[in-house]
Chain A
Amino acid sequence: MQEKVDYVKTILEEAPEEQNELYKRRFIKIDFENFGKDNATQSVQDPVAFAKELEKGANVSFDVVMSPTHEEIRKSGIAKIEELKEYEGMYGRSEDKAIAFSSSTPGKLLSIEVPQGTNQNCNILAFSTNEILNARVKINVRRDSSLNVLIYSTSMQDSATLNSILNEIYLEPYSSVEVNLINNQCGMCSAVSYSKIECAANSSLKFNAIHSGGKVLRAKTEINASGNAARCNSNELILGSGSQKFDITTKIINNAEHTETFLTSKAALMDESLCILKGFAEIGEHAENSKSYVSERGILLDKTARIETIPGMGISNNNVKATHSSATMPIDSELLFYLTSRGLSNEDAKTLVVSGFFGSTISQIENTMAMQLGEGVIREKMLTKDVATTPKATLHGIWNANAMRSADDALLEHYKYR
């Protein structure tokens, strides 16, 4: 264990971006000092009992359970787990030290293969214990098929370790995928959540990520619309409390004609938490008639919270439609006064505002279990302010205000357009 920790520390200190003075300001280092050290609870942790308790509390059932010492596949046919040895996949080892660590360290490789012409779903629970979770998820969705996948990533209480999951997803032509990623690790755990997604011609991707847990969470997502008319929609929600730090980098790439890639990031932060949102849209020279937008929004619920939004674009074709925007503001005091004047406490009013802020994204998640878990994580965190909370099986209903509404519907509801 100690050997592994030292290795992580060494490679991360050598990361090229950490040597760049400009980037340093917008790069949150993962603190590897405490992994496996004495402050982690050394009590006996039973991963089987943990998984069962979580499923019971949230009234959910996972198809795949992964932890450093325990794994289960309850849905045979499309998923298999094997030991991870010297594996790189879509990731180049040299591009990031976390990737280098994952590639060279023993762990788990979960492969999901969706056969041609089928509709599948797979709900995955991945958690770290006192030991580091080093997992890779490789998904291949064949032509004319669809997949709805949930990856709920968490950690057992007091596990001061690393929770690292690297996803790679291939969409073949005319396939459709909804990925729901929920990061809800405990406040002592550092999290690495990387995803690389390749979308072939006429494929459709909806990527929803909810980042709520971890002492430090670094998420990197790269979505490449490489086939003509591929449509990719990425939604990110970040909810921070305490002294949590989030480093979120998302790159959407239009690399073929008539492709559409959209990125919407929303962050709501409490206490002294910090979030850096780096959304970047790249439009290649062959991406004729493509569309792209990056939108970053933030609400500061406390004066000491901080959000840095850095939207960016790189466009190499003149015949495209592309835009980006970003806005961060403190929670509106007039709004709080209005809501509290109806009898809601200040905290309930804030919860309601955050619910509304995230609601349009949450309500469009098609995977009911992911929607329920995501809602539970956000609601419990708003109520308790704890970094990681156990989602409960309650569906309160305020999300349904915008259920199944498109942006056009929302516009048409305005009195001027009715």
Chain B
Amino acid sequence: MMIMEIQIKELRASIANKEILKGINLTIKQGEFHVIMGPNGSGKSTLAKAIMGYPKLKIDSGDILVDGKSILGLTTDKRAELGLFLQFQNPVEVEGVGFLNFLHNVKRKSEKKDVDIAQFMKEVNETASTLKMPNGIVGRSLNHGFSGGEKKKAEILQMQVLKPKIALLDEPDSGLDVDAIRVVAASINRIFEEQKLGMLVITHYNRILSYMKPDFVHVLVNGKIVAEGNSALIKEVEENGYDSFMK
């Protein structure tokens, strides 16, 4: 099996003429577990959105390569077809569109063949149960009326079912209580182990990271990666905050 690799080279990006990303270099391979930490407004979510082709974002220079080929010219759906997945920090609510039916349609599209609905429902229900989601929630409209925690869990459920090659998780822990953080972290770890995907977890805090074992940790400050290392870096951030990286 070919291992997917995403390379971000000297990426500079702006929104409404304000530069947010100021020369990012990062490589993520399938099977690697990366974490990006950073203070509010440092550009973490923007980086994830840039990888997925957020239309309001202007790429000023640099490149994003998947398996050596630039994806800057690809629309968001084409990037998803390559195997990229973005877990949204604030997933939108889509009233009237059934969660299960939506997911089934997306799955059929990604698999490019029909997907047995009974088998698919079984997998979705099992994953929902593992994530301790309320009974019957997958029968409702997509994210509509979900609590903040349920939305996060629903995103993880989608990741499990769609089986991406590289997943970008934008603050999977924000808005979750302590029990839910444990459940979500366990699910992310399980999916990482089972599916051998590449993963980039974006977070402010080390709360969720206490349940995870990332291979690489990056600190993003003011649009630049200012420190890289292993899990030891998380401890350093916890003890000293981000101030020491801003100097």
Chain A contacts to B: CB under 8 angstroms: 332-335, 337-346, 348-349, 352-353, 355-360, 397-398, 400-402, 410, 413-415, 418
Residue among A335, A349, A355, A356 with max Cβ neighbours from chain B (10 Å): A356
Interface of chain B residues 109 through 167 with chain A (CB within 8 A): 109-110, 134, 139-142, 144-147, 150, 158, 162
Known contacts A332-B92, A356-B95, A398 near B146 by CB under 8 Å: no
B97 touches A360 (CB 8 A): no
Q: Cβ of A410: which chain B residues have Cβ within 8 Å of it?
A: 145
Interface window among B32-40, B76-84, B174-182, B206-214: B76-84
State the CA gap A353–B85 with chains docked (Å).
Answer: 20
For residue B88, CB closer than 8 A to chain A, the reply is yes
B141 touches A342 (CB 8 A): no
State the CA gap A290–B222 with chains docked (Å).
Answer: 60
A341 touches B56 (CB 8 A): no
Residue among B92, B110, B146, B150 with max Cβ neighbours from chain A (10 Å): B92
For residue B101, CB closer than 8 A to chain A, the reply is yes
Instruction: Report how many residues on chain B are interfacial, defined by Cβ distance under 8 Å.
Output: 40
State the CA gap A344–B78 with chains docked (Å).
Answer: 9
A418 touches B134 (CB 8 A): yes
Q: Cβ of A413: which chain B residues have Cβ within 8 Å of it?
A: 140, 144-145
Q: Cβ of B110: which chain A residues have Cβ within 8 Å of it?
A: 343
Q: Cβ of B147: which chain A residues have Cβ within 8 Å of it?
A: 415
Q: Cβ of B95: which chain A residues have Cβ within 8 Å of it?
A: 356-357, 360
For residue B102, CB closer than 8 A to chain A, the reply is yes
> Per DSSP, are chain A's interface residues mostly helix, strand or loop, or mixed?
helix
For residue B105, CB closer than 8 A to chain A, the reply is yes
For residue B52, CB closer than 8 A to chain A, the reply is yes
Q: Cβ of B88: which chain A residues have Cβ within 8 Å of it?
A: 338, 341
Q: Cβ of B70: which chain A residues have Cβ within 8 Å of it?
A: none
A337 touches B141 (CB 8 A): no
Can you list 29 residue pairs at the A/B interface with Cβ under 8 Å?
A337-B54, A338-B94, A340-B76, A341-B77, A341-B85, A341-B88, A342-B80, A342-B162, A343-B106, A343-B109, A343-B110, A343-B162, A345-B75, A348-B109, A353-B97, A355-B97, A356-B95, A356-B141, A357-B95, A358-B96, A398-B97, A398-B98, A398-B102, A398-B105, A401-B97, A401-B99, A401-B140, A402-B96, A418-B134
Query: Nearest Cβ distance between residue B159 and chain A, in whole angstroms?
Result: 10
Q: Cβ of A357: which chain B residues have Cβ within 8 Å of it?
A: 95-96
Known contacts A337-B54, A341-B80, A342-B158, A415 near B150 by CB under 8 Å: yes
A353 to chain B: closest residue by CB = B94
A338 touches B77 (CB 8 A): no
Query: Nearest Cβ distance between residue B17 and chain A, in whole angstroms?
Result: 18
Query: Nearest Cβ distance between residue A329 and chain B, in whole angstroms?
Result: 14
State the CA gap A356–B97 with chains docked (Å).
Answer: 5
A344-B109, A352-B102 known, 18 other contacts, Cβ within 8 Å: A335-B94, A337-B76, A339-B94, A340-B75, A341-B76, A341-B77, A343-B106, A343-B162, A352-B94, A352-B97, A356-B95, A357-B95, A360-B96, A400-B98, A401-B101, A413-B140, A413-B144, A413-B145
For residue B229, CB closer than 8 A to chain A, the reply is no
B76 to chain A: closest residue by CB = A340
A344 touches B92 (CB 8 A): no
For residue B55, CB closer than 8 A to chain A, the reply is yes
Residue among B79, B95, B97, B105 with max Cβ neighbours from chain A (10 Å): B97
For residue B41, CB closer than 8 A to chain A, the reply is no
A417 to chain B: closest residue by CB = B145
Q: Cβ of B104: which chain A residues have Cβ within 8 Å of it?
A: 397
State the CA gap A414–B225 with chains docked (Å).
Answer: 40
B109 touches A414 (CB 8 A): no
Interface of chain B residues 63 through 81 with chain A (CB within 8 A): 75-77, 79-81
Q: Cβ of A345: which chain B residues have Cβ within 8 Å of it?
A: 75, 77
State the CA gap A341–B87 with chains docked (Å).
Answer: 9
For residue B91, CB closer than 8 A to chain A, the reply is yes
B82 to chain A: closest residue by CB = A343
B49 to chain A: closest residue by CB = A337
Query: Nearest Cβ distance between residue B216 and chain A, in whole angstroms?
Result: 24
Known contacts A338-B91, A352-B94, A344 near B77 by CB under 8 Å: yes
For residue B86, CB closer than 8 A to chain A, the reply is yes
B101 touches A397 (CB 8 A): yes
State the CA gap A349–B139 with chains docked (Å).
Answer: 20
Contact of A346 (CB < 8 Å), options: B52, B75, B91, B99? B75
State the CA gap A179–B162 with chains docked (Å).
Answer: 42
A340 touches B97 (CB 8 A): no
State the CA gap A55–B141 with chains docked (Å).
Answer: 32
Q: Cβ of A418: which chain B residues have Cβ within 8 Å of it?
A: 134
State the CA gap A402–B109 with chains docked (Å).
Answer: 23
Contact of B97 (CB < 8 Å), options: A332, A343, A346, A359? A359
Known contacts A337-B76, A398-B101, A402-B141, A356 near B94 by CB under 8 Å: yes
Known contacts A401-B141, A415-B147, A343 near B80 by CB under 8 Å: yes
Query: Nearest Cβ distance between residue A81 and chain B, in whole angstroms?
Result: 38
B97 touches A335 (CB 8 A): no
Q: Cβ of B146: which chain A residues have Cβ within 8 Å of it?
A: 415
Query: Nearest Cβ distance between residue A265 and chain B, in whole angstroms?
Result: 16
A412 to chain B: closest residue by CB = B145
State the CA gap A398–B144 with chains docked (Å).
Answer: 15
B96 touches A355 (CB 8 A): yes
Residue among B85, B101, B150, B158 with max Cβ neighbours from chain A (10 Å): B101
The 6 residue pairs across chains A and B that have the minimum distance between CB atoms: A401-B98, A356-B96, A359-B96, A414-B145, A356-B97, A415-B147
Q: Cβ of B134: which chain A residues have Cβ within 8 Å of it?
A: 418
Q: Cβ of B97: which chain A residues have Cβ within 8 Å of it?
A: 352-353, 355-356, 359, 398, 401
Q: Cβ of B77: which chain A residues have Cβ within 8 Å of it?
A: 340-341, 343-346, 349
B101 touches A400 (CB 8 A): yes
